[in-house]
């Protein structure tokens, strides 16, 4: 029960802190708001400012629980003392009773479902993975640290910043409740918008279309950030509307701050900043107002850019690694990841509308069948408000094709929901649509039309929320990721890094788990592990370049052809010979490679399980270059490599006295190599040398059966088993 209390308290304190900060700012800006819009606008604006303060606390490495609590107490105290805490302003015209009862009933029904889900133990994949995994990690060290093992550490995390004080008080569920507060603020704001334009039924219908959407309710009640992003983007729109009415220059400040906060919350939401700037320029035809917006937005953006520049050598990490080259993230992994996000395995993009509205399996969740009627929204173009809604809606929709997950539609949904409601201006019809939407969105009804494994809410988790069912029991029985995380903590010594093929619930383990695709270092380690069992990665091919003996100081192997997509240049070992005798590798040799210069030593370490890879599709001009430091006689170059590329063309070049590269051999002869029979031991020793002594394998992971059938041949010992996974320890490196 105490867990439930602290969870609620953590969220309440954080939400109050956001509101207090925003209320102070609104009073400072002298913004004239209606009573009903003050609360949600203050909450979101306050969140943006508070996120910056928490960012500073983390950067200063003083993220201790008392510091975070003191911050919240200070802003709440200041707001109460300055009188900003009170709800002020004129109210909108009173609502008619039918709307109150009808809208209130649907809202209350879904609120019970969502609130208890948010309050219940957190068991969402990404929430318990990186969203809160990084929160727990930074809280352990009381601030930011360089994380080279997870690309997620480089995503902007403007909403997750608010999870810090919440988590410090009430742990995981507190964070989910804070995210839920964003959803409530968004719904309040949408409703307020309808009342502001004199159409309360439109506001209520738009808000409830959004609120009852299955994916919105699910996402908004876990520690994700999509509903938060939607709330911020809609706040930008709302402030722009307020500014357009009043033309008060001070209102450009919240517009800019929130536009920048869009980027800070999620990269793709940055388009809202462009919309805000464009709107202000269009309305004023002047530079200065746009400049105010831009400067305020920069205040929110720059910290995240700087953090990535310092820690990841890439201001927009984890993307654009071909432009901002760095040793932390591979280009090909980036390509594969973005390629996957652009389709989620959905081959035919024309099926997406059905997938995201009705089926909800491949793209993770459904917005609800009623949104098949979304084109109706364009009928709202006949109204000024409709045009005003649809433009930012389309702007927020624009980045969707870069990530077609259903929840990535959430940020544009408020605009389309309101536009849909606006397009159907008859209250009885709106009421009928809402009833149908609510009925179809209720958890027990969804399976009747969705795909079998659609991501959705299941039931009201009130017993789990108040911890009548203990948290540990609930998570152990219902969330395999939790069991695996606990298994890691119970079996791996403190501080030991664990290598895994797939993600785990990082927020429930104190160990650092290195997941294959999440960073360059992890890619390299996974490549070593997989070389132990996967023949396609083993050096089964020797490419032999023979040429008349010559004296050289510097040699390189140059790749001259364009590879097929994702076809890389890979070199397990590169050796030089004279009269059949290998030149011993000397410390004065200077090794270089391009691209991926950081891994060149892996082609010169005499190991069959490590290799230099270009980690991007091969293009003419890639090379591995060896400077012997003195002149050497050489007549043969051997390149050991895997058999998984065919289109590459290699040639050996030497540097002449004038510094020019001269081709000395091409058209190599290929020989079949037999990797050592104990190659698995080579792999485990290499992992041990790189600080990895624990490997987590899910039973369904690639390579899991190979380890399971004979751990001894790997030098492994199975030290734990359960929840569909095993942990191996390297015992004989």
Partner 1 sequence: MLASSCQNMPESYAPPVQRQPFEDSRPHRMSRIVNVADADAASHFVRDIAPGEPAPWKWTNQNPAVKVTPRTNQGLRYIIDFTLPEVTFKTTGPVTVTFSVNGHDLDRVKYTAFGEYHFEKAVPPEWVEPLKETTVEASIDKVWVAPTDGAKLGFILTRMGLTQ
Shortest Cβ 333–partner 1 spacing (Å): 18
- By C-beta, is 32 or 575 nearer to partner 1? 575
Q: Cis link prior to 603 (omega < 30° from 0)?
A: no
Sites of contact with partner 1 (CB under 8 A): 305, 309, 313-316, 323-326, 585-592, 597-598, 600-601, 604-607, 627, 676-678, 680-682, 685-686, 698-700, 704-706, 708-710, 712-713, 724-725
3-state helix/strand/coil string of 125-194: HHHHHHHHHHHHHHHHHCCCCCCCCCHHHHCCCCCHHHHHHHHHHHHHHHHHHHHHHHHHHHHHHHHHHH
- By C-beta, is 219 or 693 nearer to partner 1? 693
Rounded CA separation 191/731 (Å): 62
Shortest Cβ 725–partner 1 spacing (Å): 8
- By C-beta, is 104 or 676 nearer to partner 1? 676
- By C-beta, is 314 or 614 nearer to partner 1? 314
> Are the CB atoms for 639 and 516 separated by under 8 Å?
no
3-state helix/strand/coil string of 396-423: HHHHHHHCCCHHHHHHHHHHHHHHHHHH
Shortest Cβ 671–partner 1 spacing (Å): 20
3-state helix/strand/coil string of 23-53: HHHHHHHCCCCCHHHHHHHHHHHHHHHHHHH
Shortest Cβ 724–partner 1 spacing (Å): 3
Rounded CA separation 275/272 (Å): 5
Question: Can you tell me whether residue 460 is helix, strand or coil?
Answer: coil
Q: Please list, residue by residue across 671-681, b when 16 or more beta carbons sit within 10 angstroms of its beta carbon and e when fewer do.
A: eebebeeebbb
Shortest Cβ 383–partner 1 spacing (Å): 39
Shortest Cβ 199–partner 1 spacing (Å): 42
Spell out the residues 6+ positions from residue 527 whose beta carbon is closer than 8 angstroms to its own: 537, 610, 611, 613
Please name which of 220, 268, 325, 332 lies closest in space to residue 563, comparing C-alpha atoms.
332
Shortest Cβ 33–partner 1 spacing (Å): 35
- By C-beta, is 98 or 592 nearer to partner 1? 592
Shortest Cβ 639–partner 1 spacing (Å): 16
> Are the CB atoms for 640 and 539 separated by under 8 Å?
yes
- By C-beta, is 400 or 619 nearer to partner 1? 619
Shortest Cβ 443–partner 1 spacing (Å): 22
Number of helical (H) and strand (E) elements in the chain, helices listed first: 25, 15
- By C-beta, is 215 or 624 nearer to partner 1? 624
- By C-beta, is 305 or 376 nearer to partner 1? 305
Rounded CA separation 292/368 (Å): 40
Task: Tell me the C-alpha to C-alpha distance, in Å, between residue 560 and each of 563, 637, 650, 696.
Answer: 9, 17, 6, 40
- Given phi > 0 = left and psi -120 to 50 = alpha, else beta, which region is 713? alpha
- By C-beta, is 452 or 494 nearer to partner 1? 452
Spell out the residues 6+ positions from residue 655 whose beta carbon is closer than 8 angstroms to its own: 552, 553, 554, 555, 556, 661, 662
**Biggest alpha carbon distance in the chain?**
97
- By C-beta, is 311 or 400 nearer to partner 1? 311
Question: Can you tell me whether residue 107 is helix, strand or coil?
Answer: helix
Q: Kindly report the length of the chain.
A: 733
Shortest Cβ 323–partner 1 spacing (Å): 6
- By C-beta, is 402 or 732 nearer to partner 1? 732
Please name which of 46, 40, 45 lies closest in space to residue 89, comparing C-alpha atoms.
40
- By C-beta, is 425 or 597 nearer to partner 1? 597
Shortest Cβ 687–partner 1 spacing (Å): 13
Helix, strand, coil tally for the chain in percent (to 5): 55, 15, 30
Shortest Cβ 625–partner 1 spacing (Å): 8
């Amino acid at each position: 029960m105490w867990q439930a209390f602290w969870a609620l308290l953590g969220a309440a304190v954080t939400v109050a802190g956001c509101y207090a900060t925003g209320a102070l700012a609104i009073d400072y800006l002298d913004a004239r708001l209606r009573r009903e819009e003050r609360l949600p606008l203050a909450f979101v604006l306050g969140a943006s400012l508070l996120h910056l303060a928490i960012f500073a606390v983390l950067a200063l490495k003083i993220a201790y629980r008392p510091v975070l609590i003191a911050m919240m107490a200070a802003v709440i105290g200041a707001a109460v003392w300055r009188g900003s805490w009170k709800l002020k302003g004129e109210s909108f015209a009173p609502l008619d009773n039918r709307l109150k009862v009808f809208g209130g009933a649907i809202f209350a029904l879904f609120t019970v479902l969502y609130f208890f889900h948010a309050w219940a133990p957190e068991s969402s994949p990404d929430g318990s993975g990186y969203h809160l995994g990084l929160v727990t990690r930074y809280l352990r060290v009381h601030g930011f640290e360089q994380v080279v093992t997870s690309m997620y550490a480089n995503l902007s995390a403007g909403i997750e910043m608010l999870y810090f004080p919440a988590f410090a008080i009430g742990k995981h569920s507190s964070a989910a409740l804070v995210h839920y507060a964003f959803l409530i603020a968004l719904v309040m704001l949408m409703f307020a918008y309808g009342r502001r334009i004199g159409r309360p039924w439109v506001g209520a219908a738009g808000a409830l279309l959004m609120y009852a959407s299955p994916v919105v309710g699910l996402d908004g009640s876990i520690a994700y950030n999509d509903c938060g992003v939607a709330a911020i983007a809609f706040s930008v729109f709302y402030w722009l509307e307020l500014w357009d009415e009043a033309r008060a220059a001070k209102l450009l400040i919240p517009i800019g701050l929130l536009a920048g906060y869009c980027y800070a919350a999620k990269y793709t939401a940055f388009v809202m900043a462009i919309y805000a700037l464009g709107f202000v320029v269009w309305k004023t035809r002047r530079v200065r107002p746009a400049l105010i917006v831009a400067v305020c937005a920069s205040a929110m953006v720059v910290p995240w850019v700087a953090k990535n520049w310092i820690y990841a050598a890439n201001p927009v990490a984890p993307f654009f690694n071909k432009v901002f080259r760095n040793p932390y993230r591979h280009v090909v992994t980036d390509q594969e990841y973005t390629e996957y996000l652009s389709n989620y395995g959905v081959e035919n993009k024309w099926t997406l509308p059905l997938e995201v509205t009705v089926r909800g399996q491949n793209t993770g969740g459904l917005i609800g069948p009623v949104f098949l009627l979304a084109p109706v929204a364009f009928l709202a173009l006949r109204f000024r408000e409709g045009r005003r809604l649809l433009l930012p809606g389309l702007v927020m929709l624009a980045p969707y094709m870069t990530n077609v997950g259903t929840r990535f539609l959430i940020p544009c949904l408020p605009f389309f929901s309101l536009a849909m409601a606006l397009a159907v201006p008859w209250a009885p019809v709106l009421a009928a649509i809402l009833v149908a939407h609510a009925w179809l969105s209720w958890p027990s009804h969804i399976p009747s039309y969705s795909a079998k494994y659609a991501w959705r809410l299941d039931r009201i988790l009130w017993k789990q929320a108040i911890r009548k069912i203990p948290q540990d029991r609930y998570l152990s029985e219902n969330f395999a990721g939790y069991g695996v995380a606990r298994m890691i903590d119970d079996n791996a010594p403190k501080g030991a890094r664990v290598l895994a093929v797939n993600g785990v619930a990082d927020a429930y383990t104190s160990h650092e788990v290195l997941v294959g695709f999440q960073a360059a270092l992890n890619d390299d380690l996974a490549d070593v592990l997989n070389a132990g069992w996967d023949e396609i990665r083993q050096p089964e091919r020797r490419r032999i370049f023979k040429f008349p003996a010559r004296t050289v100081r510097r040699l390189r192997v140059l790749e001259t052809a364009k590879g097929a997509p994702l076809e890389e240049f890979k070199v397990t070992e590169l050796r030089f010979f004279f009269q059949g005798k290998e030149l011993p590798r000397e410390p004065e040799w200077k090794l270089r490679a391009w691209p991926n210069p950081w891994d060149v030593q892996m082609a010169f370490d005499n190991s069959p399980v490590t290799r230099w890879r270009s980690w991007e599709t091969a293009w003419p001009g890639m090379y591995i270059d060896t400077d012997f430091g003195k002149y050497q006689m050489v007549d043969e170059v051997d390149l050991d490599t895997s058999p998984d590329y065919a289109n590459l063309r290699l040639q050996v070049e030497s540097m002449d006295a004038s510094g020019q590269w001269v081709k000395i051999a091409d058209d190599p002869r290929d020989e079949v190599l037999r990797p050592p029979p104990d190659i698995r031991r080579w792999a485990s020793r290499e992992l041990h040398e790189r600080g990895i002594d624990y490997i987590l394998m899910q039973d369904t992971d690639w390579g899991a059966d190979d380890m399971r059938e004979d751990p001894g041949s790997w030098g492994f010992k199975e030290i734990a088993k359960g929840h569909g996974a095993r942990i191996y320890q390297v015992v004989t490196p």
